[in-house]
């Protein structure tokens, strides 16, 4: 009987799911009313829900869900801050003062790019204040790239982004992030205000960590680049060949500052603090402080912030000694995430992050428990009579079945998202992740130890950790090279219609929630409905084309991913 991973309640889902639906409806134009009217309708529905809670207790949830739907549509309209009058205007030269919110790595030392908010304009462009935009500009002679939080004076060509950009293009990413303009073909003329001391400290710390992670790997620059990508999220250091190999194997997520990275670092910190007998509240505060510094120093990417929020919810429950409820923690993290940045909902990483974690909780863990019950270790031998080797083998068996259940859940979601966002169907992704995620976790733990030791002044020990991490990376790279050489290991894949990808993801997640709600009972289809949906999507909704394996010894295709 399955009980440990089922029957978790998450009341916030009544708020966050309609909020997501409202954001989507606003993006599609289905609720294109003025925000004031939408807010008024939401207030009316909320009042109906309040009355129903007293007089018709079974009916209160539906008007509340309707209110959140309207709030989501109003929030999208307000945060999108579109300027329709600019749609027909040609590109023009503009002098703008920008507050930098995010910077991107650049291969050219004389240029910089990133995201910013307009904080100052010429008089005739006053309506642009508060707008967020993408910039790509030339640095002044001898100048350095601006840091996050700094304000810069710029002059360049201001161009309106297309309202309906090509799906999964860079313009689509910018529009989904709430950008309406791009500023290019210009230069930075002055620094109006330098970054705060904290931002400057983060920049110095990042440069120091970059140096520390290269110690001991001077003769293997490609391994050092992979280590920096895994620890600092610097995917720009990877060569095109390395990036393609990891993408085709379905393991590119190893280079994001995401749940795997944050989780491994958190476990390492808790182990260290447990050895030091640190009290629970203080341990939680230290872990969250270190993790936030890690997230902020590496650029505060959306995936890193989401992973931090999810872990923060779990840590809060641990401190107040509440029973573990990962589903409620996930709903709370998603709600907080959307309150802080509603338009993050439209990013590919938001969908992949929350969908994968939800799939693991709804599908993966119950599947693992079902397999434990179906195939117990040594069923004819009483536990009290087990020798040490029985216990070791039973432990290994449990961990293997847990990994298989989690891997199946993640693969179902990543199959759909991989086709939707990366145009790749990696047939060996499940096997690759089962093998490589434990190795990558060891690399992250070793890299974290290297940083701690290096920052503490024990450089020789950090060098040893880097060499150990480099050896593990060598094994990972060799396995990926071997796997991508297998014929049919990856395919070029495209949905036949733009709406097919989002629809397939919604269908898979709905099937998982429905299966979880009924306890994955066999008479309701068991665990097969989500699998059947993904299979039908691949058969009828996706165009597959075999690429690349026979084109070179490295097994790297010539096509480039979006």
Res. 561: pLDDT tops 60? no
φ/ψ bin of 64: left (φ > 0), alpha (ψ from -120 to 50), beta (otherwise): alpha
Contact 257/298 with Cβ under 8 angstroms?
yes
Q: Count other Cβ atoms within 10 Å, centred on residue 200.
A: 15
pLDDT at 204: 92
pLDDT at 258: 67
| pTM, rounded to two decimals | 0.83
pLDDT tier at 247, thresholds 50, 70, 90: confident
Cα angle, residue 528 at apex, residues 526 and 531 outer, rounded to 5°: 150
Contact 103/78 with Cβ under 8 angstroms?
no
pLDDT at 559: 31
Cα angle, residue 477 at apex, residues 473 and 480 outer, rounded to 5°: 140
Give residue-wise pLDDT tens across range 102-126: 888 777 778 999 999 999 999 989 9
Would you call 542 helix, strand, or coil by DSSP?
strand
pLDDT at 177: 83
Res. 66: pLDDT tops 90? yes
Q: Count other Cβ atoms within 10 Å, centred on residue 313.
A: 21
Separation between Cα atoms, residue 438 and residue 223, nearest integer Å: 18
CATH of domain 84-195: 2.40.50
- CATH 2.40.50, the chain: domain bounds: 84-195
Calculate mean pLDDT across residues 437-442: 88
Edge-to-edge order in the sheet of strand 542-546: 424-426, 490-495, 542-546
pLDDT at 3: 59
pLDDT at 320: 77
Give residue-wise pLDDT tens across range 136-157: 999 988 778 899 999 999 999 9
Res. 548: pLDDT tops 60? no
Res. 322: pLDDT tops 80? no
| Long-range contacts, 296-301 (Cβ 8 Å, 24+) | 296/202, 297/202, 297/205, 297/206, 297/209, 298/206, 298/232, 298/233, 298/257, 299/102, 299/103, 299/148, 299/233, 299/257, 300/102, 300/148, 301/233, 301/256, 301/257, 301/349
Percent of the chain whose pLDDT exceeds 70: 95
Contact 118/182 with Cβ under 8 angstroms?
no
pLDDT tier at 257, thresholds 50, 70, 90: low
> 419 vs 3, which has greater pLDDT?
419
């Amino acid at each position: 009987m399955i009980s440990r991973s089922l029957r978790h309640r998450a009341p916030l889902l009544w708020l966050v799911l309609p909020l997501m639906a409202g954001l989507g409806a606003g993006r599609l134009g289905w609720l294109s009313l003025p925000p004031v009217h939408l807010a008024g309708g939401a207030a009316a529905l909320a009042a109906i829900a309040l009355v129903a809670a007293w007089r018709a207790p079974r009916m209160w949830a539906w008007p509340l869900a309707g209110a959140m739907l309207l709030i989501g549509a109003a929030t999208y309209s307000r945060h999108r801050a579109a300027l329709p009058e600019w749609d027909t205007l040609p590109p023009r030269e503009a002098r703008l003062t920008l507050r930098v919110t995010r910077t991107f790595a650049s291969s050219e030392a004389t240029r910089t790019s990133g995201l910013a908010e307009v904080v100052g304009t010429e008089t005739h462009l006053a309506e642009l204040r508060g707008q967020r935009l993408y910039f790509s500009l030339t640095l002044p002679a001898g100048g350095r790239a601006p840091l996050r939080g700094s304000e810069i004076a710029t002059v360049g060509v201001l161009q309106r982004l297309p309202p309906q950009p090509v799906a999964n293009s860079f313009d689509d990413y910018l529009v989904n992030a709430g950008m309406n303009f791009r500023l290019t073909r210009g230069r930075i003329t002055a620094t109006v205000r330098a970054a705060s001391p904290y931002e400057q400290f983060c920049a110095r710390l990042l440069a120091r960590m970059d140096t520390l992670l290269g110690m001991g790997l001077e003769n293997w620059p490609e391994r050092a680049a992979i280590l920096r990508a895994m620890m600092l999220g610097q995917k720009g250091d990877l060569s095109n060949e390395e990036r393609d190999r990891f993408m085709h194997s379905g393991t590119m997520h190893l280079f994001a500052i995401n749940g795997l990275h944050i989780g491994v670092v958190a476990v390492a910190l808790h182990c260290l603090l447990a050895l030091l007998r640190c009290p629970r509240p203080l341990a939680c505060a230290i872990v969250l402080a270190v993790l936030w510094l890690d997230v902020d120093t590496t650029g505060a990417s959306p995936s890193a912030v989401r992973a931090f929020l999810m872990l923060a919810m779990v840590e809060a429950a641990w401190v107040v000694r509440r029973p573990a409820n990962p589903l409620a923690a996930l709903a709370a993290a998603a709600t907080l995430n959307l309150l802080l940045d509603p338009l993050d909902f439209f990013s590919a990483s938001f969908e992949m992050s929350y969908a994968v974690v939800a799939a693991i909780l709804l599908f993966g863990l119950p599947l693992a428990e079902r397999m434990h019950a179906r195939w117990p270790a040594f069923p004819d031998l009483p536990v009290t009579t087990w020798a040490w080797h029985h216990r070791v083998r039973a432990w290994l068996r449990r961990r293997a079945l847990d990994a298989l259940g989690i891997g199946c859940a993640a693969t179902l979601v990543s199959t759909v998202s991989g086709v939707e966002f990366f145009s790749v169907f990696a047939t060996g992704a499940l096997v690759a992740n089962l093998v490589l995620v434990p190795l990558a976790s060891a690399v992250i733990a070793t890299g974290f130890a290297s940083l701690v030791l290096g920052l503490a002044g024990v450089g020789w020990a950090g060098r040893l950790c880097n060499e150990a991490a480099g050896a593990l990376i060598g094994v990972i790279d060799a396995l990926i090279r071997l796997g991508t050489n297998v014929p049919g290991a990856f395919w070029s894949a495209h949905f036949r219609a733009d709406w097919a990808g989002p629809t397939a993801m919604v269908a898979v997640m709905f099937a998982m929630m429905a299966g979880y709600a009924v306890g994955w009972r066999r008479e309701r289809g068991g665990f097969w409905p989500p699998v059947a949906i993904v299979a039908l999507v691949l058969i009828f909704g996706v165009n597959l084309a075999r690429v690349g394996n026979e084109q070179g010894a490295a097994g790297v295709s010539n096509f480039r991913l979006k």
